[in-house]
Amino acid sequence: MSECRVLLANADVEGIERLPVYEAHGGYRTLRKGLTEMTAADVAKEVLDSGLRGRGGAGFPTGRKWSFLPNDGRPRILVCNADEGEPGTFKDHYLIHRLPHLLLEGMILSAYAIGAGRAFIYLRGEFLQGYELLEAAMAEAHEAGYLGEHILGTDYSLDLCLYRGAGAYICGEETALLDSLEGKRGIPRMKPPFPATAGLYGLPTVVNNVETLAAVVPIVAEGAQWYRTMGTEKSPGTKIYSMSGCLERPGNYEFPMGTPLSELIEAAGGLLPGRRFKAVVPGGASAAYLTGDHIDIAMDYDSLAAAGTMLGSGGVIVLDDSVCIVSFTERAIEFFRHESCGKCSPCREGTLWMSQVLGRLERGEGSEADLDLLLDLTDNIAGRTFCAFGDAAVAMVASSVRMFRDEYLEHFAQQGCPLEKERVG
């Protein structure tokens, strides 16, 4: 099966990041339609009816998130979460680099729909090139009357601000993002209140992912019913899967939600010659492993949740038999140790402890008792931390011990990594 490109339909067009080319391929026509032919409520209803679910990882229905904004007359704010930091996920990066105007068009439509006069893009600090591209695109959009005062001659005005983060994974969590955007230390806030009632500077705020906001354009252009013709009933539409790992052609691939994993792997060129499939992390480093038993699993929110893992932001990392699970897991937990904000005890101390234990196990120093310790540590972190980071940090560790216990035992037996020894010879 080939790709189903909706968001990425024009991604390969030469110069699409510039306004004239984007306009030549239908760009901003949907914005004109939305602002001149539809009321804000119409746009919001279309998005609600489309069943679009947040593409940042949690999969919360976007239209419902918008509906939580209180009608109390306070100014509203739209924030685009472009702090894509999940290891294995690189779709927002791609959208920003190839289709910055699609993101802007989606943001303006969404801001119009929720009645926001101010919007912010919180961009991952490392995306310097993306920053420059977005800055240029915003200037073009301003110049052309798509941004700023009286957009397209209507009564609607939007002030959009681009902000670079400082390189903290936790700032992808929406309340930490808001604190960071306010110039504070980026750590998750207490909820409630939720951003819809008290977000940026205490104002009603919607935070949406880049891919989510981009998807608003085709939904408004073609309608909710059309959007629902793709994907599954509970996860409608298409999804950009970031395919990485041991594949012939890693990259971003857009498919309908619920496409079997095997088809995604095939689209990405399949495994490298002579290699056997070992495992997949289907939703970025925060997701638990799946083994070959699930090679045909439908890649949507509910099917993956039922299998004990998650779709997350759609970062699919495929591992073959050349990859040491212990080493790979240790690398992942090292990431989480480094990125833990340190606010709550189980996450701060637990990620450090787990990384210390896994580092030791990878070197072959340890015993089977350490595996029980590891599992118990994951049990003492999961569900006990302030935010979802803790659950994310333990998913891979816990599933690796449960699914690949033999690989750990082999490390003890050989007092080191067998695959490492094989490589070194």
Q: Which stretch binds another protein (CB under 8 A): 17-25, 41-49, 276-284, 351-359?
A: 351-359
Binding pattern for the stretch 242-261 against another protein, x by CB under 8 A and - elsewhere? --------------------
Q: How far is the CB of 312 from another protein (least distance, A)?
A: 19
Number of residues that bind another protein (CB under 8 A): 30
Q: Which stretch binds another protein (CB under 8 A): 14-22, 101-109, 338-346, 410-418?
A: 338-346
3-state secondary structure the chain: CCCCCCCCCCCCCCCCCCHHHHHHCCCCHHHHHHHHHCCHHHHHHHHHHHCCECCCCCCCEHHHHHHCCCCCCCCEEEEEEECCCCCCCCHHHHHHHHCHHHHHHHHHHHHHHHCEEEEEEEECCCCHHHHHHHHHHHHHHHHCCCCECCHHHCCCCEEEEEEECCCCHHHHCHHHHHHHHCCCCCCCCCCCCCCCCCCHHHCCEEEEEHHHHHHHHHHHHHCHHHHHCCECCCCECEEEEEEEECECCCEEEEEECCCEHHHHHHHCCCECCCCCEEEEEECECCCCCEEHHHCCCECCHHHHHHCCCCCCCCEEEEEECCCCHHHHHHHHHHHHHHHCCCCCHHHHHHHHHHHHHHHHHHCCCCCHHHHHHHHHHHHHHCCCCCCCHHHHHHHHHHHHHHHCHHHHHHHHHHCCCHHHHHHHC
Of residues 147 and 354, the one with the C-beta less far from another protein: 354
**Among 383, 409, 421, 423, which residue sits at the site for another protein (rule: CB under 8 A)?**
383
* Contacts of another protein in 204-243 (CB under 8 A): none
Binding pattern for the stretch 261-290 against another protein, x by CB under 8 A and - elsewhere? ------------------------------
Q: How far is the CB of 400 from another protein (least distance, A)?
A: 19
Asked whether 285 and 335 are in contact (CB, 8 A), the reply is yes
190 touches another protein by CB under 8 A: yes
345 touches another protein by CB under 8 A: yes
357 touches another protein by CB under 8 A: yes
380 touches another protein by CB under 8 A: yes
* Contacts of another protein in 88-147 (CB under 8 A): none
339 touches another protein by CB under 8 A: yes
168 touches another protein by CB under 8 A: yes
> Cis before residue 273, ω within 30 degrees of 0?
no
Of residues 176 and 216, the one with the C-beta less far from another protein: 176
340 touches another protein by CB under 8 A: yes
341 touches another protein by CB under 8 A: yes
- Please choose, from the candidates 49, 34, 127, 35, the residue with its C-alpha nearest in 3D space to the C-alpha of residue 81: 127
**Among 51, 57, 195, 350, which residue sits at the site for another protein (rule: CB under 8 A)?**
350
352 touches another protein by CB under 8 A: yes
Q: How far is the CB of 188 from another protein (least distance, A)?
A: 10
Q: How far is the CB of 347 from another protein (least distance, A)?
A: 8
356 touches another protein by CB under 8 A: yes
In the numeric block, the tokens 């029980």 are attached to 372
* CA geometry: angle 230, 92, 383, nearest 5 deg: 85
172 touches another protein by CB under 8 A: no
**Among 342, 405, 409, 421, which residue sits at the site for another protein (rule: CB under 8 A)?**
342
338 touches another protein by CB under 8 A: yes
Q: How far is the CB of 333 from another protein (least distance, A)?
A: 12
Kindly list the residues in this chain that would bind another protein in the complex (CB under 8 A). 168, 170, 185, 190, 337-346, 348-353, 356-357, 360, 373, 379-380, 383-386
